[in-house]
Structure 1
Amino acid sequence: MSLPEPPARRPDLDDDFAGPRLRDDVWVDHYLPQWSTPDRSAARYDFDERGLRLRIDADQLDWRPEDAPLRVSSIQTGTFAGPPGSGQGTHRHRPDGLVVRSATPTRLLWAPSAGRVDITVTASVDEGCMLAAWLVGTEHLDPLDSGEVCIFEIEAADLSTARCGIKAHHDDRLQPEMTEVAIPADAAKPHTWTAIWGPEGTVIGCEGTVLVRSAQAPAYPQFLLIDLWELDGRTGNYPKAAWIHRVRGWDLGR
């Protein structure tokens, strides 16, 4: 089944990553900075003729010592956290006393409660890496607003498949609903993923083809994150890389 055509109007978010700098009106170049420190959460990246190259460098620190081995370079469309020492913030990923380490302002750069996003990427082929894109509840209105639309998780070890679907996290109004899908494209080359979510549910597709349908969808503001992860420790050659070529997004919840 084919994906619906994008809305006829201009996107609210449209970035082709032409450089030479990352747009600070759309993106934060730190991964969930409230739970870490700036030297650990900062993304490594540069621009070339293909767009934004996310990198994992040999000297890059683990995102948090408690989560090691885990290094990540990420961009996200906003931030939210309570004061340092509190447990408030977007994506409370650990149940064992996670607290805010870095003061982080609330920035809702692009946080629709319903919408569509088209993301064109080239996945990493480097050992131990995973490229992911996801929408996650900001939690700035309610800590229950934590559910996730996982658009894709593509591991370099198997570029023929991806994981997609719904993650509930702390939102008991949602049920986990993840699935593995065959990627209808060469993930090591530019290809486009789409997520559409709103009152009628969630649709996730790739290269114009629907791959996942769910009756569920988080009904609250969500940030978009696009991440390059190194999951298996320091192995292989550096830098490791993946590319983001273009992102277009429509806020359909206004």
Structure 2
Amino acid sequence: MRDDLWVGDYLPHWTTPERSRARYEMAGPSGIRLLIEETQLDWRDEDAPLRVSNLQTGVFSGPLGSERGTHRHRPDGLTVRTHTPERLLWAPSAGRVDVTVSASVDEGCMLAAWLVGAENLSPRHSGEVCLFEIDSNAIGPGETRARCGLKAHGDDSFATDMVEVVVPLDASKPHTWSVIWGTEGTAIGCEGNVVKRSPSAPNYPMFLMLDLFEIGPRSATSGAYPKSAFIHCVRGWASHGE
């Protein structure tokens, strides 16, 4: 994996390295296989039970102990625990992203792709474009339920606008999600068909995040490890000369 394009940690500034580090393996022509391992720690004790392997296209945070940093997605007092130098590897303010994935069917897992405000210029730049969130128990042989849309978080320039959509495919097989966002709004599609439109769109630098989560306590019935999902291909285009 190219470290000039990807950060292999999940929001590392809010936690510690052994908790944020992504587990993955290169899978040749199949791309990258994100993993949740049996010994993997919760991302933060305060969020337990929650384990995650994530790849993102940049990172930003303020100094230790501050509340400045990318994706302040929780209202319960996130503070910087690990000094993380700013890295804007790919952070367009408008453009297009195509992501081809095979989602996990492992118990308790969710695969997601988000564009999140970097917040390096302002803490108000905290909105999110959710390409998809796919729970493992929402995948069927002929159709899959997924969530997509916009989340405002701390950005008061638009409202949260999330929907659940049904797409006519087995999301555990390779398939492509797309988003185009900019001055004309946001359009999210799956396999070439638009599934969500919004007149709003964030207009500041955004990082792309690709996440495999395991949510819930481990038990004798929680399934075999490692749990996994595939990121087959990612393509991105920045608009406005970025």
TM-score per shorter chain, which class? over 0.9
Deviation above 3 Å: which 4+ runs of structure 1? none
For the residue of structure 1 that corresponds to 2:82, the secondary structure is coil
The match for 2:154 among 162, 170, 195 is 170
Task: Name the CA distance, whole Å, in 1 between partners of 2:26 and 2:147.
Answer: 27
Aligned: 1:102 with 2:82: yes
CA-CA distance at 1:145 after TM superposition: 0.2
Q: Which residue of 2 aligns with 1:112?
A: 92
Give the aligned partner of residue 227 of structure 2.
240
- Residues 1-254 of structure 1 mapped to structure 2, 5 A cutoff: 22-49=1-28, 50-159=30-139, 160-234=144-218, 235-254=222-241
Cα shift readout 1:92-141 (whole Å, capped 9, x = no counterpart): 12222211000011111000000000000000010000000000100000
Matched-pair contact (CA < 8 Å) for 1:198–1:253: no
Give the letter aligned to residue 43 of structure 1. A
The two structures have a TM-score, normalised by structure 1, of: 0.90
- Structure 1 unmatched ranges of 5 or more: 1-21
Indicate conservation of the 8 Å contact 1:52/1:244, yes or no: yes
Helix, strand or coil at the partner of 2:125: coil
Do the aligned partners of 1:197 and 1:217 also contact (CA within 8 Å) in 2? yes
1:66 match: secondary structure = helix
Q: For 1:146 and 1:179, how far apart are their aligned partners in 2?
A: 20
- Residues 61-102 of structure 1, C-alpha deviations (whole Å, 9 max, x = no match): 000000000000000000000011111000112222211000
The amino acid that maps onto 2:106 is: D
Amino acid at match of 1:186: D
For 1:247, the aligned partner's letter is V
Q: Which secondary structure state, in structure 1, belongs to the residue aligned with residue 138 of structure 2?
A: coil
What is the letter of the counterpart of residue 84 of structure 1?
Answer: L
Secondary structure of 1:140 counterpart: coil
8 Å CA contact 1:203, 1:212 repeated in 2: yes
Give the Å deviation of 1:236.
1.5
Q: TM-score, normalised by structure 2?
A: 0.95
CA RMSD across the alignment: 0.8
Cα distance between partner residues in 2 of 1:225 and 1:103: 20
CA distance, structure 2, for counterparts of residue 174 and residue 75 of structure 1: 27
Q: Write the deviation string for residues 27-81 of structure 1: whole angstroms up to 9, x where unpaired.
A: 0000000000000000000012311000000000000000000000000000000
Q: Distance in 1 between matches of 2:97 and 2:235?
A: 6
SS at match of 1:157: helix
Structure 1 counterpart SS, 2:137: coil
Distance (Å, rounded) in 2 between the aligned partners of 1:91 and 1:58: 27
Letter in 1 for 2:138: D
Q: State the match for 1:17 in structure 2.
A: none
Give the residue type in structure 2 aligned to 1:199: T
Identity of aligned residues (%): 64
CA contact (8 A) 1:198 1:218 kept: yes
Give the drift of 1:166.
Answer: 0.3
Number of aligned residue pairs: 233
